[in-house]
Structure 1
Amino acid sequence: MISQNEAAGRNALRTGTILFVFALVATALLAFTFSRTQPTIERSQQAAKLALLAQVLPPALYDNDLLASMHSVPPDDLLGTRQPSAMWVARRGDNITAVALEAIAPDGYGGNINLIIGIDMDGMVTGVRVTSHRETPGLGDYIDRSKSPWVEQFAGKSLTTPPAKRWKVAKDGGAFDARAGATITPRAVVKAVRDALAYFARHRAALVAPSISTEKKKP
C-alpha cells in the first residue's frame, strides 16, 4: 500500500515533470518565433534608420550606402556624449559631401534630448531631427518634427550664419524662434546644434579620414 508521503512525492514529481516539459516547449517556440521574426525586425529597424538619415541628409548629396558608412565617434563635450556615438558619412562618387552626427542636448527641461544632425563639408546644417526626449507633452515637445516643423529652421545655418551672438532663441536676442513659456527646451537644442557645428569644424579632417572602402554603393 502506498503511503501518503509516497503519493505526495509522486504527485510532486509528476507536476514538476509536466511544468518542465511545458517550459521546454515554450522556450523552443519562443526561440523558433525569434529566429523567424528577427530578420524582419532588423530590416524594419534599418529602414527606419535610413528614413531618419534621409531627413537630415538630402538624398541628392549621396549615392553610397549610408548604413554601411557608419563610424564610431569618441565621447566629446561638444557632442554632449559620455560614450561613443555614431557618425554616418555621405558620399557622391568619390567625394565626401556631408556627415550625420549623433549629439545630445543634456540640459533639456526633462533631461537629455537626443539628436541627429546633418552637416555638409562647408559646415552648413543640412537637417536636424530629435530622436528621443522627455520634454513635457504639449509644451516642450514641439521640438519633435512629428509635432511641429520647428527644427526645420536649422537647415542652412552654420557657425557664422547667424553670427555667434545670435545663436540663441529669440527671447534671448537670438535668431531662433521658440514658443512662449517653453524656452528651456529650444535653448538646449540650439546650443547642442551650435556645439555640434563647432565639433565638426574642429575635427573636420579627422572625421572624413576613416576608410570607407567597405561601403557599398546604393543600387
Structure 2
Amino acid sequence: MNDSKKGGGIAMLVVVLGLITLVCALLLGVVNQVTDPLIKQNAIDTRNAAMGEILPEATDFPEVEVPEEMKSPEDKNAVAITAAFKAEKDGEAIGYCVQVAPKGFGGALTLIVGINADGTVAGAKVTAHAETPGLGAKSQDAEWIAQYAGQPADGSLAVSKDGGTINAITGATITSRAVTNGVNAAAQFAATLG
C-alpha cells in the first residue's frame, strides 16, 4: 500500500509540473506575439533614422532588391547584405544605404553604410550589436565610426593592424575588423547597383 501512495504522489507531481510548464509556454507565446511586431518596427525606425543621419540630403529611400544568396551567404565568413536602399533627392540617385550584418566578437552586428554616388563612403552607423560593453560596444561611438566617412568605397578598407587606414578600437580589433568588413561589403554591393 505504501508503494502505491508513492507512485500516486509522483504521478501527481509530474502532472502539476506538466501543467506549470504548459502555462509558462502559453504565456511566453502570448508575450512573443505582442512584442515581436513592436521589436520589428523599432528596428525599422532605427534603420530609417540611421539612413537619415548618414545621407541627410536624401528625401526618399526606396528599397532595392537584395538577392537571397547575399542575405544568407553559404560562406560563414561572408558578410550578409540584409537590405539596401537607393538614396534619392528630388528623384535623382545620390547614393545608397546598405544594411549589413558582419560577424563581430559577440555575434553579428547590424550596420547601416551610406555610399555616395561619387564612390566614397558617406558614413556608417552600428544600429545593433552584442559586443562587449566598454570595448566592442565603442563601435557605436560617433567619433570612432566617423573615420569611415570620406574613405574610398572600393572595398579595400582595412584596420591599421592589417596595413590599412582605419584605427581599431583599443582592445576590440575583432569588432573593428567586423565593421570594416561590413563597410567593404556594402561598398562592393553598392558598386553593383550603379
TM over 0.5: yes
Q: Distance in 2 between matches of 1:151 and 1:123?
A: 18
Structure 1 unmatched runs, 5+: 1-29, 206-219
Separation (CA, whole Å) in 1 of partners of 2:171 and 2:149: 24
SS in 2 for 1:73: coil
Tell me: CA distance 1:178–1:72, structure 2 relative to 1, closer, same or farther (3 Å).
same
**Structure 1 residue identity aligned to 2:86:** V
2:124 aligned with 1:128: yes
| Residue aligning to 1:111 | 107
Alignment partner of 2:175 out of 185, 193, 198: 185
Answering whether residue 98 of structure 2 is matched by residue 101 of structure 1, we say yes
Select which of 149, 170, 179 maps to 2:143: 149
User: What is the distance in 1 between the residues matched to 2:54 and 2:118?
Assistant: 15
Displacement after TM superposition at 1:180 (Å): 2.8
Write the letter of the residue equivalent to 1:72: E
C-alpha distance in structure 1 between counterparts of 2:83 and 2:185, whole Å: 16
TM-score scaled by structure 2? 0.67
- After superposition, where does 1:1-219 map in structure 2 within 5 Å? 48-57=46-55, 59-60=56-57, 62-64=58-60, 66=61, 69-74=62-67, 75-76=69-70, 77=73, 80-81=79-80, 85-106=82-103, 108-145=104-141, 148-159=142-153, 164=156, 167-201=157-191, 203-205=192-194
Q: Once the 2 structures are TM-superposed, how far is the Cα of residue 48 of structure 1 from its aligned partner?
A: 4.2
User: Please, what TM-score do these two structures have when normalized by structure 1?
Assistant: 0.60
Residue of structure 2 in register with 1:208 after alignment: none
Percent identity of the aligned residues? 31
Whole-angstrom CA distance in 2 between matches of 1:182 and 1:128: 18
Question: Quick one: distance in 1 between partners of 2:183 and 2:43?
Answer: 25
Match of 1:27 in 2: none
Alpha-carbon distance in structure 1 between the residues aligned to 2:165 and 2:135: 21
Q: Per the alignment, in what secondary structure is the counterpart of residue 108 of structure 2?
A: strand
The root-mean-square deviation of aligned C-alpha atoms, in Å, is 2.9
Equivalent residue letter for 1:121: A
| Bigger-Rg structure (1/2) | 1
| SS of 1:176 mapped into structure 2 | coil
Classify the secondary structure of the residue corresponding to 2:65: strand
What amino acid does structure 1 have at the position aligned with 2:184?
Answer: R
Q: CA deviation at 1:159?
A: 3.7
- Number of corresponding residues: 153
Residues 156-176 of structure 1, C-alpha deviation per residue, up to 9 Å, x if partnerless? Answer: 11145xx93xx2212222201
